[in-house]
Amino acid sequence: MKDFLTIADYSPEEIQSLLDYAVELKAEWADGGNRPILKDKVLAMIFQKPSLRTRVSFDMGMRHLGGDALYLSPAEIGLGKRESIADVARVVSGYVDGVMARVFAHEHVEKLAEWASIPVINGLSDYNHPCQALSDALTIQENHGNLKGLNVTFVGDGNNVAVSLMHICAKLGANFTIANPQGYDMPEAAIQEGRQFAQESGSTITLLHDPHQAVKNAQVIYTDTWVSMGQIEEVEKRRQVFPPYQVNAQLVAEAEKDVIVMHCLPAHRGEEITDEVADGPHSVLFPQAHNRMHAQKAVLARLMA
Ligand code: CP
Ligand code: NVA
């Protein structure tokens, strides 16, 4: 596989192998023994949107592996505006060894991959967030042993993070449930793919609107912002619709006793998640954020070595 654009492109065995590699690299890092697997290789990081985790974890991941990373801001590149995506892809292919891109339209990262002769990694699009999902699977595995047969519930907007989480759950045999408000569903095509993967792994996809019903038996509760980047004009409307979907202590108490609470961050405390939950005993928010670096190192090493 040249690129990492969507979890849907990878088989369950390939995903598990990336997770195993991440576990290995994380153990080496913890022992202070990073291997220079990507010595002298450089990753270009193209951002059309802001970032803390994606930017820092990819940059540090490249340094750990003996390489380097270049940050290219929205203003510098003007992807598809100052210059066509096909031209950007062909130009950077001659300078660096890989590209990570955070874009608005998913077609833009697909187009980059089509025209680049080097690996392209999707660092979030309006459609999905595969690096987040891979890292989240690592965190779930660390807490619950294995995804097979687990009940994972997403509460909130049927957004990019929900799509990739559904895909990885379905691929790895976890039962995925979402409770989202009417009209804020995941895209139908993504759901169809998820159903196909769930059938192959023997798991289930359940689409609900009631968060209380959705968290019953949940071993993982996941939430994300009600207003994603690029949706700022919808902020007022969304703030009226989403409050019943807040992950608070009362909702968490309705799940399994050993439930872990996850959020890709940035969190809007007091909106989709309360401080009590974000900082409470079930929260894995910060180890989850840190695992971005470990999981992505496995992707970088696999694609660029
Ligand atoms: N979760 C995540 O992708 O965070 P950033 O937007 O800060 O990169
Ligand atoms: N759904 C959020 C995720 C941020 C990491 C967004 O797209 O803004």
Confidence band of 84 (pLDDT split at 50, 70, 90): very high
Query: How far does the centroid of ligand 1 lie from the alpha carbon of residue 199, in Å?
Result: 31
For residue 266, cis peptide bond before it (omega within 30 degrees of 0): yes
Other CB atoms within a 10 A radius of the CB of residue 200 amount to 13
- pLDDT at 77 > cutoff 90: no
Pocket test for ligand 1, best of 45, 48, 54, 57 (most atoms within 8 A of CB): 54
Which residues sit with their C-beta closer than 6 Å to ligand 2?
Answer: 124, 159-161, 224-225, 228-229, 264
Q: What is the pLDDT of residue 234?
A: 98
Task: Tell me which CATH homologous superfamily contains domain 132-288.
Answer: Aspartate/ornithine carbamoyltransferase (3.40.50.1370)
- Asked if 7-129+292-304 and 132-288 have one fold, the answer is yes
Residue 132 annotated as catalytic = yes
Q: Which of 224, 238, 294, 296 is catalytic?
A: 224
CA of 161 to the centre of ligand 2 (A): 7
Average pLDDT, integer, range 127-132: 99
Q: Tell me the pLDDT tens digit for each residue of 177-216.
A: 999 999 999 999 999 999 999 999 999 999 999 999 999 9
Distance between CA atoms of 186 and 166, rounded to whole angstroms?
A: 10
Q: pLDDT digit string (tens) for 244-299?
A: 999 999 999 999 999 999 999 999 999 999 999 999 999 999 999 999 999 999 99
pTM: 0.98
Instruction: Place domain 7-129+292-304 in its CATH homologous superfamily.
Output: Aspartate/ornithine carbamoyltransferase (3.40.50.1370)
Q: Is 259 in the pocket of ligand 1 (CB under 6 A)?
A: no
Test site for ligand 2: of 129, 163, 222, 272, most ligand atoms within 8 A of the Cβ: 129
Alpha carbon of 229 to ligand 1 centroid (Å): 11
Question: Given the CA of residue 265, which atom of ligand 2 is nearest to it?
Answer: 5
pLDDT of residue 33: 92
d(CA 53, ligand 1 centre) in Å: 5
Which H or E element spans position 44? strand 42-47
> Measured in angstroms, how far is the CA atom of residue 183 from the centroid of ligand 1?
25
Residue whose CA lies nearest to ligand 1 atom number 5: 51
- pLDDT tens for 102-112 read 999 999 999 99
Please tell me the distance from the alpha carbon of residue 75 to that of residue 293, in angstroms, as a whole number.
26
Handedness of CA 161, 166, 172, 176 (dihedral sign): positive
pLDDT at position 289, please?
Answer: 98
Q: What is the 3-state secondary structure (H, E, C) of 154-199?
A: EECCCCHHHHHHHHHHHHHCCEEEEECCCCCCCCHHHHHHHHHHHH
147 pLDDT band, cuts 50/70/90, is very high
Nearest bound ligand to the CA of residue 125:
2
- Domain regions of the chain by residue span: 7-129+292-304, 132-288
Task: Single out the residue of 196, 190, 184, 257 nearest to residue 221, CA to CA.
Answer: 257
Tokens of 157: 């907007």
- Ligand 2: which residue has its CA nearest to atom 1? 228
Mean pLDDT (whole number) for 101-125: 98
User: Is 292 a residue of the active site?
Assistant: yes
